[in-house]
Amino acid sequence: MPRKKTVSLQRRLNPDRKYQSVMVQRLINKSMLDGKKLLAERAVYRALEIAAKKLDNENPLEVFEKALKNVSPNFEVKSRRVGGANYQIPFPVAGHRQQHYAFTWLVQAARSRKGIPYEQRLALEIVDAYNEAGAAFKKKEDTHKMAEANRAFAHFARG
């Protein structure tokens, strides 16, 4: 049993300028390279507009939120050493951490696509996530498959 309660170190993020959404602001922050926030902001806004156009949806924020929901994992596996052997133990993922994984996977998947500008890559990845396809969604599926495969070791989580 821990001696002290840990204090949450969550920062309060201000919502973005255009959509007044904290989620969009977090995507901008994840997309940012070398502290160039304005560049990341421009790219994310363009990507959201492109994605909404491709899906014939008038609201880019709805498209983004559904895509994010489709990419957020419910379970993850953590390595734990039990009696000389390492086991991959499935754990449920908390809300903030789900979003962290979703943003990270979206940005990684967009960056791994080559040959077109970043905002178009991000837009394509958001469209794919919206349609439950693409690299970020595959990453979530793989994580869930791994957790499912190691369900037999779930009892170690409580030990």
DSSP annotation string for 65-115: HHHHHHH--SEEEEEEEETTEEEEEEEEPPHHHHHHHHHHHHHHHHHH--S
pLDDT of res. 63 = 95
Residue 1 included in any domain: no
Burial group, residue 33, by CB count within 10 angstroms (0-12, 13-18, 19+) = exposed
pLDDT at 131 over 80: yes
Give the residue numbers spanning the domain of 154. Answer: 22-158
Using pLDDT thresholds of 50, 70 and 90, give the confidence band for residue 7: confident
Instruction: Encode pLDDT of 60-75 as tens digits.
Output: 999 999 999 999 999 9
**Total Cβ atoms within 10 A of residue 95:** 8
Q: Which of 141, 1, 6, 4 is nearest to 76 (CA)?
A: 141
Residue 137 lies in a domain: yes
36 has a pLDDT exceeding 70:
yes
Number of domains in the chain: 1
- Domain assignment present for residue 52? The answer is yes
Report whether pLDDT(152) > 70.
Answer: yes
What CATH number does the domain containing 39 carry? 1.10.455.10
In this structure, is residue 17 part of a structural domain?
no
Check whether 156 has a pLDDT greater than 90. no
Is the alpha carbon torsion for 5, 13, 46, 36 positive or negative? negative
Domain assignment of residue 61, yes or no: yes
pLDDT band at 93 (very low <50, low <70, confident <90, very high): very high
pLDDT at 1 over 80: no
The tokens for 142 are 């793989």
Q: What percent of the chain has pLDDT over 70?
A: 97
